[in-house]
A and B are shown apart, each in its own frame.
Chain A
Amino acid sequence: MWTTKTFLTKTKRGNILKIVREHYLRDDLLCGSAACNICPHKDDEFVLASNPESICALFEYPHYLVLDTNVVLHQMDVLEEDALTNVIILQTVLEEVKHQNTAIFQRLLEIIGNKKRKFYSFVNEHHKDTYIERGPGEKPNDRNDRAIRKAASWYASHLSANNVGGQFPKIVLLTDDEGNRKIAQEEGIVCCSVKDYIENVNGFVGLIDKLSKNVIPESCSKDALYPAHLTPTQIHSGIRNGKLFQGTFHASRDNFLEGTVSVNGYEKPILLQGHIGINRAVDGDMVAVEIFPEEEWRKPSDIVLEDKADDPGDLLEEEAVLLNTAKPADNNKDEITPTGKVVGIIRRKWRQYCGILMPSKFPGATRHLFTPAEKRIPRVRIETRQSDILAAQRILVALDSWPRNSRYPLGHFVRALGPIGDKDAENEVILLEHDVPHARFSEAVLACLPPNDWTIPEEEIKKRVDLRSICICSVDPPGCTDIDDALHARPIEGTTADGLVKYEVGVHIADVTYFVRPNTALDKEAAARSTTVYLVDKRIDMVPDLLSSNLCSLRGGEERLAFSCVWEIDENANVLSTKFHKSVIKSAAAMTYEEAQIAIDDSARQDQIASSLRVLNALAKKLKRKRLDNGALLLASPEIRFQVDSETHDPIEVQAKKIVDTNSMVEEFMLLANVSVAEKLAAEYPQCALLRRHPAPPPANFTTFLKAAMQQGFEIDVSTNKSFSASLDKAQIPDRPFFNTLLRIMATRCMQQAVYFSSGTKMQDEFYHYGLACPIYTHFTSPIRRYADVIVHRLLAACIGEDVTHASLLDTKQADSICDNLNYRHRQAQYAGRASVALNTHILFKNRVEIEAAVVLSVKRNALQVLIPKYGLEGPLYLPSDKFTYNEEEHFQICNGVVLKTFDELTVRLSLDSTNLQHRKLVFQLVEPHIPGFSYVPEQAMDVDAKTEEKKEEKVEAKKRKEARDTKVKKKAKK
């Protein structure tokens, strides 16, 4: 019980504080080796094998490896391979890693947790024989190196001490620090560099490729191309005395020699130009910048500059040629931006990047360039002997370092994702680049699932309200297999005081929390994923398929558990009462929007389903009217859906999404349910209710939009959402029915993102949802595909006494961190969805050229952003600056008297540019209005058109043969 042996204090100096901390040393810590018979191990506490087989030719006797901190930090990809086993991770190392890089730390914990790998974490800092005190004047790093050596030699003597037979594992210390190796050798510790060790490993092909490149210290100036970065201390004092600024580096998408950093104290982001100005910063890094005196400030270049295709070796190009560095002649002060240079890196934000290998021109070379898919990331030099195989693949590469004498950052190959152009490989790229967790569900997660033939137990039915006899139905997009909501409506006895007819309306949501219990592996996985991600031809589920498509999905004719929200509503759609309860339901029909619409319109149908749909539809219209009167915005975004070939999964047709009445019918009731739940939660949990808010957009967002509307003769009042909504309604052009939709599409772009938050973190008046014009809102209706709804279900169940609470649910801090993750994942899911649409558009237009009507969404300096209403596609139509003049004040482009401005209707030619495999893009060419020498002349294209016509016909044939299946793109209730 009372095991403290020695008592020491550690002193840490803060600013002026002297902090004394206790540090207990113990004698009950185990060495974890099966070869040891001194430590009182229990049977399950042996981690390291008693006679480990050596895989390294340099050390042909059994040994354990001890790693130093830098080896763990830099060689994680090697460690993650199954090659190295029987490794001792010291606490000194573990703590340094944790402090320096949490991502690496997590990966290390993962390895330690894997029993097969035999990684043992030894608590050397609290062991009475291995703890050392920092000597006077000793640097922390040196002290830690000494602690590692101390532990290594302790292990060596500990293991030899109790083995009479002479057979015991030795210790090999892996470190890349030459100085450290020298001292270790003097102390009699066997040591080796990682490179030497790995290069002599037998039997693990490809392990060498994963070696991280050796880090050359910043102070080494041999062949240096770049100026040295400042040391952390210099940066720190520079920032403190105001000479330096810190911020996140954002590389330009268009120009690889340009980037910006937003810093405190400057309204505009700081401009950085050229290799030297950027000085090896990579997009996302936290950097320190020095700002030039005002006379050296420049304006951002408007040119597009891509890194050249061939490897120039370690030379920097003449930048003056590439960058227009001359000061602008015109004295347009607006464009002048504070300019500076990167002087140091505070924190690298490197991750693993997807891309393709550009093999070296020299046969047999091992050094190659890698081009990341993300344009803002520079190309990377990697070493591999498998370049022939990898050249045709999408690969994943990790960045290691960027020494001063290297033109490119150095990295290493992590793994191949699949052949370029292969659908699965391309989807994998989308998922990885958007950080979407998409690995198969682990055994631990699957173990939380009920059996496949699970049915609702009798006692569960007894606990719930039995609604199986009520006619409930669901309405969803076609092909939807994760049905999370169903509805019912029926007239009830009696009238209101005003003599209005009363209805009972219920929204029934899949009871996911019955299956996903808090703090289980399943729950944690769902929380980490946060949302189901929909790609055009693939769905990455938040919860395993058994739940998402079966047990939780409210399928027609099957008994399911549900969480119900039931209202009494009068015929004017006033809510008279609300109640929540868990229930058992049996959906009468799972319909598509169109089926439901037909049932409503078909007056011959008088069955229960049709009549309840009609009631719902009528009430929904009134609800919607009320909402709009309150100032809710009807926004629009072009949504497209693909028809995909059922065998190849390639898209064969694309069309803008059709909207019918029933879409909005379902949406209205989902909104109502969400609002009802939000009100209840906010009242019950002032500190930890999970809500969703939509901040009002700052007025500055509207400037361009208002100007464009003004050009069309409409004055839009954006002072409140109500006035905004009203003036949008009024902005109609009789003979241009699409104009109003277009206006709404553009209005949507001025909005901010709606976000989840915990009620304890915001003031009541910040809860407002601008787009829906309601004071409070949350998500309750899609627990199968959104984790936010799972939490909301738990909170609601707890407050109506149908489920128990658990501690983490009621913790504001935790609720807040859940919200952060939810918001991040939702944003990434949205981007991934868009990337998938772009990918499929490209596949669709691979062999197609079309001429279509288009509208101008916005006018840029060198391009028009155009939208093809038929397909819902949009993209830039580039305008050469030698022909067009850009009017900045009025936002239009002019050429030979032809003015192009926002909302103009054009005809454009669509084709696909595949010259760059990584960045295939749709090319828009102007056809009408005709501008001689610029516009595309259709005569030339007659042949092409004829060809495409033929192809189209073939396609139609193909379509008939193979049953075209609708995609699962499902974007419901998108505000």
Chain B
Amino acid sequence: MPGPDLLSSQGLRLDGRRPNELRRIKCKLGVFTQPDGSAYLEQGNTKVLAAVYGPHQAAKSKSSTDGVVVNCQYSTATFSTGERKNRPRGDRKSQEMSMHLRQALTAAIKTELYPRSQIDIYVEVLQADGGAYCAGVNAATLALIDAGIPLRAYACACSASMAWRAGQPEPLLDVGHVEEAAGGVVLTVAALPNTGSIALLEMSHRLHMDYFDVVLSRAMQGCRDIEIILDRAVRDHLAEGWTKQDIVTI
């Protein structure tokens, strides 16, 4: 069948996960003191930092009476990939990712509460091992919560891809770098699982219509699983009682 073997005959993926399993997610809120909110998130070997400033008064040019302006900046550390690449800040890829971030997060934030204001969200990818955008959205959500900004729902992002097992299609959840590089299609979804609405949907290649629904529903299931994990992290953080003892300074 098409594509390389991403699933073994026993139904395990290259890294030992089953098709419907996420990578290990570790996260922490409030990792910096300087910003209003911050979070660190690991999804497998993908590691991201998110920081939130605001809401504060918007620059005149951007100011809007309808609601808060969400300003996102997505960047990738030079040491984040196996091969060192010196990417200028704000290259095309980062710009695109910034826009996607903004789209997903704007959907989650109750923007109407802060007219004529601005929220700045910075996401830095420290290590990229597939699904950096998803990890970025998840981390940013935590950072927004840390900053105390009212949200409609958790914004969670997750990817899914297609594999074949014994000739049957089997979608894979939370695609890692190895699976991504194998060349299959990767469907990225940012959703508000609570409301069931989709904030962003992106596909890397063409995918036949027959398979779209199964892949999408698997990605949505991933978003719901991530929401549970994020929610638990937030509750744990709150239980710590705002002690801010684990502050990391860079």
| A interface with B by C-beta (< 8 Å) | 1-4, 7, 9, 17-26, 91, 94, 109, 112, 121, 123, 125-126, 519, 524, 805-808, 810-811, 813-814
Cβ–Cβ contact A24 & B22, under 8 A: no
Is the CB–CB distance between B210 and A24 below 8 Å?
A: no
Contact A126 B44 (CB under 8 A): no
Q: Mask for B56-95, Cβ within 8 A of A = 1, else 0?
A: 0000000000000000000000000011000000000000
Interface digits, B9-39 against A, CB 8 Å rule (1 contact, 0 not)? Answer: 1101011111011111000000000000000
Nearest CB in chain A to that of B25: its residue: A2
Give complex CA distance A22, B21 in Å: 13
How far, in angstroms, from A524 to B167 measured CA to CA in the complex? 10
Chain A: which residue is nearest B211 at the CB level? A807
Residues of A within 8 A of B18 (CB): 3
Report yes or no: A1 in contact with B225, Cβ–Cβ below 8 A.
Answer: yes
CB distance from B212 to the nearest CB of A (A): 10
Contact status B16-A25, CB under 8 Å: yes
- Asked if B113 lies at the interface with its beta carbon under 8 angstroms from chain A, I say no
A1 to B229, CA, bound (A): 12
Taking a contact as CB atoms under 8 Å apart, the answer to whether B178 and A807 are in contact is no
Once the chains bind, are B2 and A814 in contact (CB under 8 Å)? Answer: yes
Verify B9–A112 contact, CB threshold 8 A. yes
Q: How far is the CB of A811 from chain B (nearest CB, A)?
A: 5
> Is B15 a contact partner of A123 (Cβ separation < 8 A)?
no
User: Can you list 6 A-B contacts (CB < 8 A)?
Assistant: A2-B229, A22-B23, A22-B44, A24-B15, A123-B10, A808-B2
**B45 contacts A by Cβ under 8 Å:** yes
| Contact of A22 with B208 at beta-carbon distance under 8 Å, contacts A17-B83, A121-B10, A126-B12 already known | no
The docked-state distance in angstroms from the alpha carbon of A22 to that of B44 is: 7
B8 within 8 A of A: yes
Whose C-beta in chain A lies nearest to the C-beta of B46? Answer: A22
Cβ of A21 and Cβ of B178 under 8 Å apart? Answer: yes
Chain B residues near A24 (CB, 8 Å)? Answer: 15-17, 24
How many angstroms between the C-alpha atoms of A7 and B22 in the bound complex? 13
Nearest A residue (CB) for B5: A98
Which chain B residues border A123 with CB–CB below 8 Å? 8, 10, 12, 16
Q: Which of A1, A3, A125, A807 contacts B208 (CB 8 A)?
A: A807
Inter-chain contacts of A2 with B (CB < 8 A): 21-22, 225, 229
Are B21 and A3 in contact, with the CB atoms below 8 A?
Answer: yes
Query: A521 — nearest CB in chain B belongs to which residue?
Result: B167
Q: How many residue pairs at the A-B interface have CB separations less than 8 Å?
A: 73
Which has the most chain B C-beta neighbours within 10 Å: A4, A9, A112? A4
Q: How far is it, in angstroms, between the C-alpha of A416 and the C-alpha of B178 when the chains are bound?
A: 46
Which of chain B's residues have a CB closer than 8 A to the CB of A19? 82
Residues of B within 8 A of A109 (CB): 9
Cβ of B248 under 8 Å from chain A: no
Q: A21-B14, A22-B129, A24-B15 are in contact. List 5 more A-B contacts (CB 8 A).
A: A4-B24, A91-B10, A112-B9, A123-B16, A807-B208
Chain B facing A: main interface SS: loop
A18: which of B9, B82, B210 is its contact (CB, 8 Å)?
A: B82
The docked-state distance in angstroms from the alpha carbon of A126 to that of B17 is 9
Residues of B within 8 A of A (CB): 1-2, 8-10, 12, 14-18, 20-24, 44-45, 82-83, 129, 167, 176, 178, 206-208, 210-211, 225, 229
CB contacts (< 8 Å) of B176 on chain A: these are 22
Q: Which residue of A lies closest to B229 (CB)?
A: A2
Most-contacted residue by chain A among B16, B18, B207 (CB, 10 A)? B16
Q: Are A22 and B15 in contact (CB under 8 A)?
A: yes
B2 near A807 with CB under 8 A, answer yes
Q: Please tell me if the beta carbons of B45 and A22 are within 8 angstroms of each other in the complex.
A: yes
* Nearest-CB residue, chain B, relative to A813: B2
Do A806 and B208 contact each other (CB < 8 Å), given the known contacts A121-B9, A125-B16? Answer: yes
- The smallest C-beta distance from B16 to any residue of chain A, in angstroms, reads 4
Contacts of A21 in B (CB 8 A): 14-15, 45, 178
The residues of A that contact B1 with a CB separation of less than 8 Å are: 808
Query: Which residue of chain B lies nearest to A16 when distances are taken between CB atoms in the complex?
Result: B83
A contact residues around B178 at 8 Å (CB): 21
A7: B residues at CB distance < 8 A: 24
Q: A283 CB to closest chain B CB, in angstroms? A: 30
Inter-chain contacts of B82 with A (CB < 8 A): 17-19
A-B residue pairs, 7 tightest by C-beta: A807-B208, A24-B16, A126-B16, A22-B15, A17-B82, A814-B2, A4-B24
What residues of chain B lie closer than 8 Å to A22, measured between beta carbons? 15-16, 23-24, 44-45, 129, 176
Contacts of B8 in A (CB 8 A): 91, 94, 123
List A contacts of B208 (CB < 8 A): 805-807, 810
CB-defined contacts of B207 to chain A, threshold 8 Å: 807
Which residues of the partner chain B approach A20 to less than 8 Å between Cβ atoms? 45, 129
Contacts of B15 in A (CB 8 A): 21-24
CA distance A814 to B206 in the complex (A): 14
Residues of B within 8 A of A126 (CB): 12, 16
On chain A, the residues within 8 Å of B206 by CB distance are 810
Cα-based distance from A355 to B18 in the complex (angstroms): 48
Closest A residue, CB atoms, query B18: A3
Residues of A within 8 A of B14 (CB): 21
**A811 CA / B18 CA spacing, docked (Å):** 26
> Please, which residues of chain B bring their CB within 8 A of the CB of A121?
9-10
Q: How far is the CA of A849 from the CA of B155 in the complex (A)?
A: 89
B16 touches A23 (CB 8 A): yes
A375 to chain B, nearest CB (A): 38
**Chain B residues in 8 Å Cβ range of A519:** 167
Select from chain B the residue with minimum beta-carbon distance to A808. B2
Q: Chain B nearest CB: distance from A106 CB in Å? A: 11
**Which residues from chain B contact A811 at a C-beta distance below 8 Å?**
2
| B contact residues around A813 at 8 Å (CB) | 2
Q: Which residue of B lies closest to A20 (CB)?
A: B45
Q: CB-CB < 8 A to B17: which residues of A?
A: 4, 24
A807 to B211, CA, bound (A): 8
A386 to chain B, nearest CB (A): 36
Q: Please, which residues of chain A bring their CB within 8 A of the CB of B2?
A: 807-808, 811, 813-814
A7 to B10, CA, bound (A): 21
Chain A residues closer than 8 Å to B12, beta-carbon distance: 123, 126
Most buried by B among A1, A17, A25: A1
- How far does the alpha carbon of A126 sit from the alpha carbon of B16 in the complex, in Å? 6
Residues of B contacting A125 with CB < 8 Å? 16
A138 to chain B, nearest CB (A): 21
CB A682 to nearest CB in B, in angstroms, measures 19
Tell me the bound Cα distance from A467 to B104 in angstroms. 57
* Cα A125 to Cα B15 with chains together (Å): 10
Let me know if B16 and A26 touch, CB within 8 A: yes
Q: Give Cα A877 to B24, complex, Å.
A: 75
**Complex-state Cα separation, A91 to B12, whole angstroms:** 11
Whole-angstrom distance from the CB of A26 to the nearest CB of chain B? 6
Q: Which residues of B contact A806 (CB under 8 A)?
A: 208, 210
A811 vs B164: C-alpha distance in the bound complex, in angstroms? 15
Contact A807 to B210, CB < 8 A, known contacts A26-B16, A125-B16, A126-B16 = yes
- A519 to B129 Cα, complex, angstroms: 34
Query: Bound complex: CA of A177 vs CA of B210, how far in Å?
Result: 50
CA distance A21 to B179 in the complex (A): 11
Residues from chain A with a CB closer than 8 A to the CB of B9 are 94, 109, 112, 121
Please give, as numbers and ranges, the residues of chain B lying within 8 Å of A814 by CB-CB distance.
2
Chain B: minimal CB distance from A820 (Å): 14
Bound together, the chains give a CA A374 to CA B208 distance in angstroms of: 46
Q: What is the CB-to-nearest-CB distance from B231 to chain A, in angstroms, rounded to a whole number?
A: 14
Contacts of A805 in B (CB 8 A): 208
Bound CA span A3–B12, Å: 13
Whole-angstrom CA separation of A953 from B217 in the bound complex: 79
Chain A hits for B20, CB < 8 A: 1
Give chain A nearest CB distance to B134 CB in angstroms.
Answer: 15
CB neighbours (8 Å) of A807 from chain B are 2, 207-208, 210-211
A23 to B23, CA, bound (A): 10
Min distance, Cβ B158 to any Cβ of chain A, angstroms: 13
CA of A813 to CA of B206, assembled, Å: 13
Complex CA gap A17/B79 in Å reads 12
Q: How far is the CA of A2 from the CA of B222 in the complex (A)?
A: 11
A25 to B17, CA, bound (A): 8
